[in-house]
Chains A and B, each alone.
Chain A
Amino acid sequence: MPLIKDGELIDDPWLRVADDQDLPDGPVIVSLERWQAAGDDVAAHNGPLGVVLASDQSPDLIGDDLGRFDLVALDFPAFTDGRAYSYARLLRERLGFKGEVRAVGNVLRDQVAFMVRCGFDAFDMADVNAAEAFRQALAEVSVTYQPAGDARRPAMALRQS
């Protein structure tokens, strides 16, 4: 699957590991259930650790453990399920998470501009021309009307200056 990270197409260094698979060394992403089960293999894992949250799993569930993760993946089971937009903002703005926040699942070019504004910085996109689509999508609307999880200044603030 093409991965867009910080706007560029890259080879995904992370491996998503199913709950019944052994953990290899290196960067791995595990489910919340596996993390919560607190197995020795996860505790002793040699390498960066990421966790994937399903769309009904709030980041509050890992709030105390965030320091342990370098990546949090938020799942869009369908692009119409918008819960993860709030989760991303909570991760960034409330919980202060500085690692990678990755959108996985049904991630489409017409949603990525919203996702960036909420704090996502990596996108697992099925689009064959993902990099070009991503660039275009982000260039489509230059004005924002509300503060969000990114650094863009909304019209309200720009009018003051």
Chain B
Amino acid sequence: MYRYDEFDHTLVAERVSQFRGQVARRVAGELTEEEFKPLRLMNGLYLQLHAYMLRVAIPYGVLSSLQMRKLAHIARVYDKGYGHFTTRQNIQYNWPKLPDVPDILDELAEVEMHAIQTSGNCIRNVTADQYAGVAGDEIEDPRIYAEIMRQWSTLHPEFSFLPRKFKIAITGAPNDRAAVKVHDIGLRMVRNEAGEPGFEVLVGGGQGRTPMIAHTVRDFLPIRHLLSYLEAILRVYNQLGRRDNKYKARIKILVHETGAEKFTAMVEDEWAQIKDTPLALPESEVARIKAYFAPPEYDTLDDNSPEFDAWRGGDRDFDLWVRANVAEHKVPGYAIANISLKPIGGTPGDATADQMEAVADLADRFSLGEIRVSHEQNLVLGDVKKRDLYALWQALKTHDLATANIGLISDMITCPGLDYCSLANARSIPIAQEISERFADLERQHDIGELKLKISGCINACGHHHVGHIGILGVDKKGVEHYQITLGGNADQNAAIGKIVGPAFSGDDVTDAVETIVETYLDIRADGESFLDTYQRAGLEPFKERLYAAH
């Protein structure tokens, strides 16, 4: 993985002391809360319902075991013993005290981490495919370019006061695991006719109250022009994005109101004027960063592991875990192991300090000391030998980290909702917990198959409900929490926004409604059809009929 050099170390250290000064000025009353707000937001510090919340960046979702131990330490010393992994590959601490925050940032800097630009109207943490570097379908490792973008966007003098926050995601593979079509900018690695790698550039996707799928503005961008093209997009947006209404300020609205074709022309025109400036990426710099992500020296193994097969055959629980949580690795004899942070009845995405330390230890023991965080709020060990999977699984079980539900109905994305968030209209976590309990039977979940359920506690859509196969949106109806259900959303390469199935349900009824939807699917599915396949074939009607028949 990437390691800081003197420049990176210096910048992060200086940024911490700068923020320490800003906090001191706030505590001394030299800055009003209004003046302090944009400064703390540039450093990931929010004021929530009950306390400050600190959001720490995990650039493109990659952590060393050392860094994971530091996150555990911070949870234990400065917070209440846990942290929350988010859909943007960050970790949030819900209870830090303001005067402690500079110390927390100092501790993070020791392990080459920071909270820079994890909030505010600037370019946020760049996210990437959690299987980067180990997936067989990959064209190139997207983390190389995510790191280049991390550096370019850090304290960018022109783009630190944009009309609104700005999110970039990159995938190196045709199978999109990074939801790039619902980001302000999405990058997909592709090859041109000559076989050279480059990027398809998509702009204007997003969720929130006006969900949109991104438009392709360029089919192929050579690698050396990555930064100049991003700068052209951002410059057009910074000048023309709406600043009169925060709900219309994202780039998706600019693209929509301008028209994708005209917007593209403006970007291309700007780009033509800056493409051959010092923004052009020197090959040597790409090579320097690429070297950090060079594949490790893998052992030469037989892809078949008789021990592994025997354990699978002899232990039904292990077999279920392998089916749901283990993905194919590009190297024979290795596997990608997903660690679910969605135990039945738990808070999706939360991990205790003990669990974080356990994962760090297991990463050292079984997976070259590296951990990834997925946008679906789970953890990944990317380089596990197949013959070690059984021992890994047994160790995970002792820490309540072995739930065999990746991609299944209880593997929900859920925002913090009204339990923490000052924007929420409704609670999300208790609904997630109730649905998870209802479907606690893993055999039943496996029978239902792939089903992505996503819950947001308000229209800002942090829980990605628009792109859930089943989406649940918390709304406030005359002071009472209600939940609107959408069907058919999808965040992958075939991204789609879900459709509202009908009137909202009360908190008491929403779990029953989800069960009715699932039962309807099981009744009408054809052989081999996933939930999404069935929805796409049959549409909303059969679900609607069953849901509202009694009313």
Do chains A and B stick together as partners?
Answer: yes
The CA-CA distance from A22 to B277 in the complex, in Å, is 44
Question: 1/0 per residue A124-161: CB within 8 Å of B?
Answer: 00000000000000001111111111000011111110
Q: Smallest distance from the beta carbon of B228 to chain A beta carbons, Å?
A: 10
Which of A111, A148, A156 makes the CB contact (< 8 A) with B282? Answer: A156
Q: Is the CB of B151 within 8 A of A156?
A: yes
Q: Judging by beta carbons under 8 Å apart, are A141 and B152 in contact? A: no
**Interface SS majority for chain B:** helix
Binds B, one of A25-33, A35-43, A76-84: A76-84
User: Is there an interface contact between A160 and B39, defined as CB atoms closer than 8 Å?
Assistant: no
- Contact pick for B277, options A114, A118, A142, A147, CB 8 Å: A147
Query: Is the CB of A86 closer than 8 A to any CB of chain B?
Result: yes
Asked if A85 and B158 make an inter-chain contact with CB atoms under 8 angstroms apart, the answer reads yes
Q: Please report the C-alpha to C-alpha distance between residue A58 and residue B284 in the assembled complex, in whole angstroms.
A: 37
Given that A158-B7, A159-B288 are known contacts, is A141 also in contact with B277, CB under 8 Å in the complex?
no
Q: Which of B9-17, B47-55, B63-71, B349-357 contacts A (4 or more CB under 8 A)?
A: B9-17
A107 interface residue, CB < 8 Å from B? no
* Chain A contacts for B279, CB-based, 8 A: 146-147
Q: Which of B257-293 contact A (CB under 8 A)?
A: 273, 277-279, 282, 284-285, 288
B residues contacting the other copy or chain, number (CB 8 A): 40
User: Which residue of B17, B38, B273, B284 has the most chain A CB atoms within 10 A of its CB atom?
Assistant: B38
Do A142 and B238 form a contact, CB below 8 Å, given A79-B38, A110-B22? Answer: no
Q: Per a CB cutoff under 8 Å, which of B5, B7, B158 touches A118?
A: B158
- Judged by a CB distance under 8 angstroms, whether B235 is at the interface is yes
Give the residue name and chain of the A residue nearest to B234 (CB).
Answer: A86
Within 8 A of B (CB), among A22-81: 58, 79-81
Q: Are A144 and B155 in contact (CB under 8 A)?
A: yes
Is A155's CB under 8 angstroms from B160's CB?
Answer: no
Cβ of A59 to closest chain B Cβ, rounded Å: 10
Q: Interface size bucket, A side? A: 35 or more
B162 at the interface (CB under 8 A from A): yes
Contact A141 B278 (CB under 8 A): no
B119-167 at interface with A (beta carbon < 8 Å)? 121, 151-162
Interfacial chain B residues near A113, Cβ < 8 Å: 157
Q: CB distance A82 to B7 under 8 Å?
A: no
Q: Specify which of B14, B15, B22, B158 is in contact with A89 (CB 8 Å cutoff).
A: B158
Task: Kindly state whether residue A5 has any CB partner on chain B within 8 Å.
Answer: no
A108 at the interface (CB under 8 A from B): yes
A143-B7, A155-B151, A160-B282 known; A82 and B161 CB under 8 Å?
A: yes
Given contacts A143-B11, A145-B154, A146-B227, is CB(A81)–CB(B243) below 8 Å?
yes
Does A108 contact B160, Cβ atoms closer than 8 Å? no
Say whether B39 contacts A110, CB under 8 Å.
yes
In the complex, residue of chain B having the shortest beta-carbon distance to the beta carbon of A147? B278
> Per-position contact with A for B28-52: 1 when CB-CB < 8 Å, else 0?
0000000100110000000000000
Determine the distance from Cα of A154 to Cα of B280 in the docked complex, in whole angstroms: 13
Whole-angstrom CA separation of A89 from B93 in the bound complex: 38
Give the residues in chain B near A156, CB-CB below 8 Å: 151, 282, 285
B18 within 8 A of A: yes
- Partner of B155 from A89, A108, A115, A145 at Cβ < 8 Å: A145
Q: Which residue of A lies closest to B241 (CB)?
A: A83
Contacts A80-B161, A143-B7 given; 9 further ones with Cβ under 8 A? Answer: A82-B159, A110-B22, A114-B161, A115-B157, A141-B11, A141-B18, A146-B227, A157-B278, A158-B7
Of all A-B residue pairs in the complex, the 6 with the closest CB atoms, nearest first, are A82-B161, A117-B157, A155-B7, A143-B11, A114-B157, A147-B278
Residues of chain A whose beta carbon lies under 8 Å from any beta carbon of chain B: 58, 79-83, 85-87, 89, 94, 108, 110-111, 113-118, 140-149, 154-160
